[in-house]
């Protein structure tokens, strides 16, 4: 949280950067460009860490008792497997995770189970957003009754 709070001063439109650019004569566009890259890199690192922690929680859920220092590299390998082309998010993640867990001596079955648990956890976590999107879509499809048109008929 503190890392993202510190980013607010560097992400456009930032009053701090506009003020610095105005006072020093430095291009405000250059300041925005210089401030945006570190913000994107930091946000990406926070997102990867969040996914890795979620994977460790999924592994614990299916009964993997290996220490965090052993699970974290496996979680990062699983995340790399998740970027491969797949069908609805299933397939490569489970295969890569089963292979990685087997290579680490934790059992391919536990790796596949952890990958499935991760997929289910992420799916369930995204459902509230899906509900909001569907509700908004349904509200736009409703026919609105307009009394002035009814009076003309």
Nearest C-alpha neighbor of 29 from the set 9, 43, 13: 13
Domain locations in the chain? 2-142
Residue 153 clears pLDDT 90, i.e. is over it: no
Could you read off the pLDDT of 76-122 as tens digits, one per residue?
Answer: 998 888 888 877 667 888 889 999 999 999 999 999 999 999 989 98
Could you tell me if 8 and 14 are in contact, meaning their C-beta atoms sit under 8 angstroms apart?
A: yes
pLDDT band at 15 (very low <50, low <70, confident <90, very high): confident
Residue that has been written with the tokens 């650019």 in this structure? 21
Tell me the pTM.
Answer: 0.70
**Under 8 Å between Cβ of 46 and 65:** no
* 52, 76 Cβ separation under 8 angstroms: yes
Per-residue pLDDT reduced to its tens digit, 16-53:
778 888 888 888 778 777 777 888 888 899 999 999 99
pLDDT at 13 over 70: no
């Amino acid at each position: 949280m503190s890392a993202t709070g510190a980013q607010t001063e560097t992400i456009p439109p930032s009053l701090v950067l506009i003020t610095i650019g105005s006072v020093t004569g430095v291009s405000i566009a250059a300041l925005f460009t210089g401030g945006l890259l570190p913000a994107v890199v930091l946000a990406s690192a926070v997102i990867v860490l969040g996914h890795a922690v979620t994977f460790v929680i999924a592994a614990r859920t299916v009964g993997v008792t290996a220490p965090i220092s052993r699970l974290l590299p496996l979680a990062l390998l699983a995340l790399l497997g998740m970027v491969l082309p797949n069908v609805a998010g299933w397939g490569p993640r489970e295969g890569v995770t089963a292979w990685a867990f087997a290579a680490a001596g934790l059992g391919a079955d536990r790796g596949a189970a952890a990958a499935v648990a991760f997929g289910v956890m992420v799916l369930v976590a995204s459902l509230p957003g899906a509900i909001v999107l569907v509700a908004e879509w349904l509200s736009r499809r409703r026919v609105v009754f307009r009394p002035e048109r009814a009076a003309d008929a």
